[in-house]
Every structure is written in C-alpha cells, then in structure tokens.
Chains A and B, each alone.
Chain A
C-alpha cells in the first residue's frame, strides 16, 4: 500500500523511535492509525500532520499563518488532484507547478515542509516517466524535484530519478 509506505518513510524522516502500526479501511485502502488517547485517525494527511506534531516538528507544517495555509493547500492538492490524476491531467499539473516554482525553492515559504515531502512522493512516478526533453521543459519542477529527493532524510522507499545536469535541448549560450 503506497500510503502506508509513505507514512513509514515520513516516520524515518522524523526519526520516530517506534514505527506505528497502521490498518486500512475501505476499498481505497485509506490508512488508519489507532490512537490510544482517542478516536482513530483516518487519512494520509491527518495522520501525517499528527506524526509531525508527535515528533515535535511543528515547523514542518509552516512557520507562519500564511505558510501553514499554503502547506495545507498543497497537501490537499496532492491527495485530491495528484494521486488520482489521468494522463491528460499530467501536462497541466506540470505546467502549473512549473510556473508556481519559478520563484520558489520550496512549496511553502523558504523552508522545507510536509508539502514538499508529499508532493515528492506523489510526483515520483510522473517524473520517473518523463523524457529528457520534458524534464528540461519543466525546468523548475525538475530542479525542485531533484532538490527534494536529495534533501537529507527524505528519500527512503523511492528510487532516485536521474536528472541530467548539462542541458542538451535548451541553448545555454545566449
């Protein structure tokens, strides 16, 4: 189950000593975490946010009111739009992201957040399948993706995607 593997990777990133035991519900296999102190937590994003708070890393959810909102927006985007997109949607998603990332190093503000983690998980199969010239076409998405996959502690269950550093198709001599 992809969602459970993503949660496990997140646990490793957070350095949580004891991995949690998850169950799933429904035919969409939504992850569930049985919480000793209360009702079970249901849903990838819900559980992820809970883990972040448990690990005492609130900055991963944003360090200002604005960036917190942006983080939640991207988490929702990843789960609703990205994880269930069709082939036709992919070009639009990449175009939009490429424009968004032109002046940004991370998705929300100037710090690495959970939004980057889950967008990386979600985009991985898409980026894996891009041809070289498409990776150059979406230069900002590629840059951001290469950055996040190398960010310390992030990549666990996903294979590294090769990104050519010397651009071939776009002229570098202006």
Chain B
C-alpha cells in the first residue's frame, strides 16, 4: 500500500483518487492516519485535486488537536490503495558520508572488503527482487464467456447499449468481439465475448453491472462459457 511519492504531483493524484469516496485516510473519524499523511505532504493540493484539497483543509482544522486524535501513526506504506508502493522520500537526507576518497584504484582491497561484501549482497538481493517481479505466475485460470445482452425493444439504440457494456472496466476483464443477432420482431440482441480471470471476475458481478444499465438492457444471459 502507499500513495507513491506524496511529495510529487503523481502521489497527490493517487491520494486524490483514494479520497474521492472517503472522508478520511482510515475509517470514519479523523485519526493519526490522517496526521501521518498530512505531515508527509509538502504543500496543499492544487484546486484540480478537489478531493485531496477537501481532505487537506478538513484535517488542517484539527491541527491543534492532532496529538489527541485516535490511533497510532504507521509508516506511509501502510496506508492507501493496495498495489501502490510508498516512495515518499523522507525530509532527512540519508547520511552518506564518504570518509575515504582513495579507494578508486583498489576496490577489493582489504579495508574495502566489508563494503564489497555489502555491495555484493545488495546486488544479489536486487537481482532476486527483479527476478521475482518479472516472474509471471505460472497459471491464471481464465474463461471465455459469450454474453447475450437483450434490449427492451427494437427502438433501443444498440450502439449505445454496446458502448455501455464495453464501458464496464474491471481488473481481469477483457472485452472481445461482438455482433448483433436478430431475435425476431426487429429486435436484435448484442452477442459479445469476453475473457475473464476466474478469481477476479464472476458472471454474477458481470450480470449486475450490465443489467444496471436499466435504460438499455432488459436482460443478460450466458450464451457460452468455456474454460481456457
């Protein structure tokens, strides 16, 4: 978790998005979570980040009570949306004093053995981390689903209906080809395919989202379902 770099515009955008449907960083009352994030930000969010700005002004009004707000301050990476790391640089620069300027020639000399060892370990760990990150999980269960989406009548705008269906965005859902199939009385149904990752998207949630477009969609059926 985290917001990226809270001192940068991109981090503030993540914060803004996160706060669009939340009043506070955690829970439903102001807490140390809000204090922690508030203190990590270097300047008030700009007016276009209206949710972050709303939150910022609200938390600022608690400035004199901030020590008595409930909870415990945690590291920034414990807050925010999952899947985003915290990369906020602390205001104290890392102490990196170079006390030995004469080690350019003999990098693996005796005095530098410890440093070399540490450097090698770090390289190893970085390589391991990169390998882990690059490794794709072996098998993701996927299914190919063909959906029949039926309109109310022959006057329903099928292009708009298709637009609505394709506007449904979910992690693990990819829309495929579609076609209009006549079903009689001038009515056409939209037959559209999609590929879903089984643990992320189920047919009932797809049905919920599709039938939510009540103005266009009368019903949805599964025409075909195949495991890939």
- Is B29 an interface position by the 8 A CB rule? yes
Known contacts A110-B61, A143-B20, A143-B23, A168 near B169 by CB under 8 Å: yes
The residue that B54 contacts in the complex, of A104, A151, A169, with Cβ under 8 A, is A104
Q: Beyond A105-B54, A168-B168, list 20 extra A-B contacts (CB 8 Å).
A: A102-B54, A105-B55, A105-B58, A110-B58, A132-B208, A132-B209, A139-B20, A139-B21, A142-B21, A143-B22, A143-B23, A144-B23, A147-B23, A147-B24, A150-B27, A152-B29, A167-B20, A169-B167, A169-B169, A171-B169
- Is B221 an interface position by the 8 A CB rule? no
Q: List 10 tightest A-B contacts by C-beta distance, closest first.
A: A150-B28, A110-B61, A147-B23, A105-B58, A103-B54, A143-B21, A105-B23, A131-B212, A132-B212, A102-B50
How long is the Cα–Cα vector from A139 to B17 in the complex, in angstroms?
Answer: 11
By a CB distance below 8 angstroms, the chain B residues around A133 are 212-213
- Is B53 an interface position by the 8 A CB rule? yes
By a CB distance below 8 angstroms, the chain A residues around B21 are 139, 142-143, 146, 163, 165, 167
Most chain A beta carbons < 10 A, residue from B23, B50, B61: B23
- Is B188 an interface position by the 8 A CB rule? no
Task: Categorize the interface residue count of chain A.
Answer: 20 to 34
How long is the Cα–Cα vector from A64 to B212 in the complex, in angstroms?
Answer: 44
Interface residues of A (CB under 8 A from B): 102-105, 110, 131-133, 139, 142-144, 146-147, 150-152, 163, 165, 167-169, 171-172, 174
How long is the Cα–Cα vector from A132 to B210 in the complex, in angstroms?
Answer: 11
- Is B94 an interface position by the 8 A CB rule? no
A133 and chain B: residue at smallest CB distance: B212
Taking a contact as CB atoms under 8 Å apart, the answer to whether B209 and A151 are in contact is no
A110 and chain B: residue at smallest CB distance: B61
The residue that B17 contacts in the complex, of A146, A169, A172, with Cβ under 8 A, is A172
The residue that A131 contacts in the complex, of B55, B167, B214, with Cβ under 8 A, is B214
- Is B57 an interface position by the 8 A CB rule? yes
- Is B159 an interface position by the 8 A CB rule? no
A169 and chain B: residue at smallest CB distance: B167
Taking a contact as CB atoms under 8 Å apart, the answer to whether A103 and B13 are in contact is no
